[in-house]
Amino acid sequence: MNSLSWWRDAAIYQIYPRSFRDSNGDGEGDIAGVISGLDYLASLGIDAIWLSPFYTSPNRDGGYDVANPRDVDPRFGTLEDAKDLIAQTHKRGLKIIFDIVPNHFSSDHLWFQAALRSAPGSAERARFHFYDGKGPDGQLPPNNWNSVFGGPAWTRVKEQDGSLGQWYLHLFDTSQPDLNWENPEVASDFEETLRFWFDLGVDGFRIDVAHGLAKDEINVNHRDPEGLTRALRFDAAATDQAERKALLQDIPFFDREGVHQVYRSWRKIFDSYDPPKMGVAEAFINPTSRIARYVRPDELHQAFNFDFMMSNWNSDEMKTSITRTLAELGEVGAAATWVLNNHDSSRVRTKLGDETRAKSAALLIHALPGGIYIYQGEELGLPDGDLPDEARQDPVFFRTAGADKGRDGCRIPLPWEAEKDAYGFSTGKPWLPQPKNWQKFSVDQEENDSESFLNFYRKSLNIRKSNPALGGESPITWVATSPGILYFTRPFGLHVLINVSENSQTLDISEGGSILLASHSNVQLHAGTLELPANSGVWLQY
């Protein structure tokens, strides 16, 4: 890890604090719980942690509805706990990044409450997108945009005199009013938030909906509202991926030119610290070449690679995505990121449907140049959990009337100890029910099994950290081989082979190598002949 631009090849572990570990028995994870897990995290071989929001919030969208971005919600602890977390993380030689949510505030934020109490046209309303409705009496929304969570993106408010009044824009839940980034007050408030946490020692930010801050002309309808809905659905299976990509190119509130001005000004703040701070964009856009624009030298440092994350288990698709990523980001001098899942997606184990594939996917991305992101529980090989509808909390479920089950299945609290209630996550009732058969995924059981998913991840990450052949940004060289196999080499004699097919394959390769790590015990190497079972992968060291 290069100390000044540490993120370029870092392994960053995403913590969803509500589900990581609960220290006070209220059934929800908290900051003290994260602190108690730091030794475990350090043992994984990661370089940094990223925490999803724990700020003051009515928690309508898992804390991505922020009512005060410069304080900690009591459910998670106190500001003192946050300071302690930063200190404890640094003490273990790890970096720490937080989540910033600039597209919207919670409707509980003082600004929005003031806007509701103020008249149309007031300075209070000008921090958000308040518009008069269309049609007689303004009963129609100002335009036909849909919310990412389903349903219309507009809600009508009652004015102080009780009459139906203006409409406000919310690209997500009704409780998440969008901020008006053309208003300089908004920009300066976020600058204050950045500095607030940076001054407390935070090393960087993950930027939520980084592509959403600037909007096209609001008075114009989108010509294809149904297409808009299909493009925006979280449920990857719900929309054909090729169609989604085409539709994503034409969304009037995503990836507009105005966002870059924001990141250019943020970069100046990042660079005013010594060592400089970093930013990683959550920008769900297409074509991928547009991503590179977020990581130009005077903007952010990284962007999540959703194109790769959404690729199917298909060697051509994966290779195309890898090649394109490295070429497009290389043009602007940015480091790539590789991510298999997060708190908004299906877990990789479930998505790929099989343990060996999930391990092979890790072998693949842990060997690519750039940074990697790991979502809590990924290292345990956790699948998504099935949940009864009554337990669901994601607004996506409610706003689509259950058509989209939402993201709770990947947010179930982690299993720590097989024999304890709530698998040691909490002494209380977990906020989402944990599946009955998760003993085998618990940290303590996996710790004690040398063949476990956890110990596989630990090996992979620790090798990645200590072996110059992995990590770093040296190039990859593709090697021509059988169909269905991804085969590339990296400097220092590392050969990476992943069998992205349902057939076991026998390959002749150069002699002299040895197996550094394999995703399956039946991967065998004898005198230049490699047996690579279906879906397995291997690192060979020459």
Q: How far is the CB of 304 from ligand GLC (least distance, A)?
A: 10
Q: 288 or 452, CB closer to ligand GLC?
A: 288
* 3-class DSSP assignment, residue 358: helix
Residues 264-293 that bind ligand GLC (CB under 6 A): 282
51 - beta bridge partners?
15
The one among 30, 344, 384, 446 contacting ligand GLC by CB under 6 A: 344
Beta-strand relationship, 505-508 and 494-499: unpaired
- Encode burial over 458-492: b for 16+ CB neighbours within 10 A, e otherwise: bebbebbbebebbbbbeebeeeebeebbbbbbbee
Please tell me which residue in 208, 344, 378, 404 is annotated as part of the active site: 208
Clarify whether 473 is annotated catalytic. no
Q: Which residue is it, tokens 């290389």?
A: 330
> One of 282, 307, 404, 408 is an active-site residue; which one?
282
How far is the CA of 256 from the CAs of 150, 301, 329, in angstroms?
A: 22, 19, 19
328 makes contact with ligand GLC (CB under 6 A): no
Query: In the complex with ligand GLC, which residue's Cβ is closer, 241 or 474?
Result: 241
Q: Shortest distance, CB of residue 112 to ligand GLC, whole angstroms?
A: 15
Q: Pick from 172, 263, 416, 441: which binds ligand GLC (CB under 6 A)?
A: 172
Nearer to ligand GLC, 6 or 253 (CB): 253
Q: Considering only residues 48, 82, 100, 101, which one is a binding residue for ligand GLC as defined by CB under 6 A?
A: 101
> Closest CB to ligand GLC belongs to which residue?
64
42 vs 214, which CB is nearer to ligand GLC?
214
Output the smallest distance, CB 338 to ligand GLC, in A: 18
Closer to ligand GLC by Cβ: residue 402 or 475: 402
CB of 466 to ligand GLC, least distance (A): 32
Size of the site for ligand GLC (CB under 6 A): 9
- Distance in Å, CB of 172 to ligand GLC, minimum: 4
Q: Which of residues 57-96 bind ligand GLC (CB under 6 A)?
A: 61, 64
State how far the Cα of 45 lies from the Cα of 47, in Å rounded to an integer: 7
In whole angstroms, what is the distance from residue 166 CA to residue 460 CA?
Answer: 55
Q: Which is nearer to ligand GLC, 64 or 154 (CB)?
A: 64
Q: How far is the CB of 142 from ligand GLC (least distance, A)?
A: 21
Burial group, residue 80, by CB count within 10 angstroms (0-12, 13-18, 19+): exposed
By beta-carbon proximity to ligand GLC, the closer residue of 210 and 540 is 210
From the CB of 539, what's the least distance to ligand GLC, in Å? 31
282 catalytically annotated: yes
Q: Does the N-terminal peptide bond of residue 276 adopt cis geometry, omega within 30 degrees of 0?
A: no
Rounded Cα–Cα distance for residues 267 and 415 (Å): 39
Beta carbons of 413 and 431 less than 8 angstroms apart? yes
> In this chain, which of 82, 209, 470, 530 binds ligand GLC, going by CB under 6 A?
209
- Calculate the CA 464 to chain-centre distance: 21
d(CA 41, CA 374): 11
Query: Between 291 and 470, whose beta carbon lies closer to ligand GLC?
Result: 291
- Three-class SS of residue 202? coil
Residues 413-472 that bind ligand GLC (CB under 6 A): none
- Going 193 to 194 to 200 to 204, the CA torsion angle's sign is positive
Q: How far is the CB of 399 from ligand GLC (least distance, A)?
A: 11
Letter string b/e over residues 209-231, b meaning 16 or more CB atoms within 10 A of that residue's CB: bbbbbbbeeeeeebeeeebbbeb
384 lies in the binding site for ligand GLC (CB under 6 A): no
| 208 in contact with ligand GLC (CB under 6 A) | yes
CB-neighbour burial class of residue 386 (10 A; exposed 0-12, middle 13-18, buried 19+): exposed
- The Cα 47–Cα 33 span in angstroms is 19
Token pair 């990683």 is found at: 280
Tell me which residues are annotated as active site. Answer: 208, 282
Residues that bind ligand GLC (CB under 6 A): 61, 64, 101, 172, 208-209, 282, 343-344
